[in-house]
Homo-oligomer: A and B are copies of this chain.
């Protein structure tokens, strides 16, 4: 029994490649690993404490999701960020999210509705910023739970898979822009309006509101000059 360095509790009873994939993904999405950064195996072996095989597999998987880039015999890099990529991401998110919500509206049952009402309620009970001005992790969790609840009835594995991948990319941009929450934006009002439209099965309004919601986040990120320093180009 060599298996020991299980790091995060939940990585128990998982393959090494599985847990190193999770950790790499989180580090990239959290911005710990900077956009464009070179990923050398010697360093990765050091910092993640695993051998080549699970590392290469995890990176290959991340490359398929476009969170990292693989260049022939020249190694892996964290995917760069750019304005045009952010615009492309917004476009796809608007289409995929709205599609998932519209299908959920068509197919959702009472239990689906209840989960949304519960999620928006829980979200409203929590401030997005802590006393120190940082984003509250618990708020982030409830925020994700709320958005997930909206699409939970869409009944399409592929739609949910693509949505998940796009959300990862969006989260990365969002977290690279530190103060994305503190821009005087009324999150709760937006979320409530969205929740109301969905629960009322108002497809037209839900479609309009989710697209607006996603677009506003991107506007804030685009305006963040700090992000230039993270390597945002065209």
Give residues in A with beta carbon < 8 Å to B. 14-15, 17-18, 53, 56-57, 60-61, 63-66, 72-73, 85, 88-89, 91-92, 95, 99, 156-159, 161-162, 166
Chain B residues in 8 Å Cβ range of A18: 72
Is B14 touching A72 in the complex (CB atoms < 8 A)?
A: yes
A169: nearest residue on chain B (CB-CB)? Answer: B158
Complex: A53 Cα to B17 Cα, angstroms: 13
Is A161 touching B66 in the complex (CB atoms < 8 A)?
A: yes
Residue in B61, B72, B157 whose beta carbon sits within 8 Å of that of A15 in the complex: B72
In this complex, the member of A17, A57, A72, A73 whose beta carbon has the largest number of chain B beta carbons within 10 angstroms is: A57
Chain B residues in 8 Å Cβ range of A89: 158
Complex: A66 Cα to B63 Cα, angstroms: 14
Complex: A73 Cα to B60 Cα, angstroms: 18
State how many angstroms separate the Cβ of A81 from the closest Cβ of chain B. 14
State how many angstroms separate the Cβ of A20 from the closest Cβ of chain B. 12
Complex: A64 Cα to B66 Cα, angstroms: 11
Is B60 touching A157 in the complex (CB atoms < 8 A)?
A: no
A157: nearest residue on chain B (CB-CB)? Answer: B88
Chain B residues in 8 Å Cβ range of A157: 85, 88
Chain B residues in 8 Å Cβ range of A161: 66
State how many angstroms separate the Cβ of A162 from the closest Cβ of chain B. 6
In this complex, the member of A15, A53, A56, A158 whose beta carbon has the largest number of chain B beta carbons within 10 angstroms is: A158
A103: nearest residue on chain B (CB-CB)? Answer: B91
Complex: A15 Cα to B70 Cα, angstroms: 11
Chain B residues in 8 Å Cβ range of A91: 156, 158-159
Chain B residues in 8 Å Cβ range of A61: 60-61, 63-64
Chain B residues in 8 Å Cβ range of A158: 66, 88-89, 91-92, 166
Chain B residues in 8 Å Cβ range of A53: 53, 56
A66: nearest residue on chain B (CB-CB)? Answer: B161
State how many angstroms separate the Cβ of A216 from the closest Cβ of chain B. 20
Chain B residues in 8 Å Cβ range of A72: 14-15, 18
A156: nearest residue on chain B (CB-CB)? Answer: B88
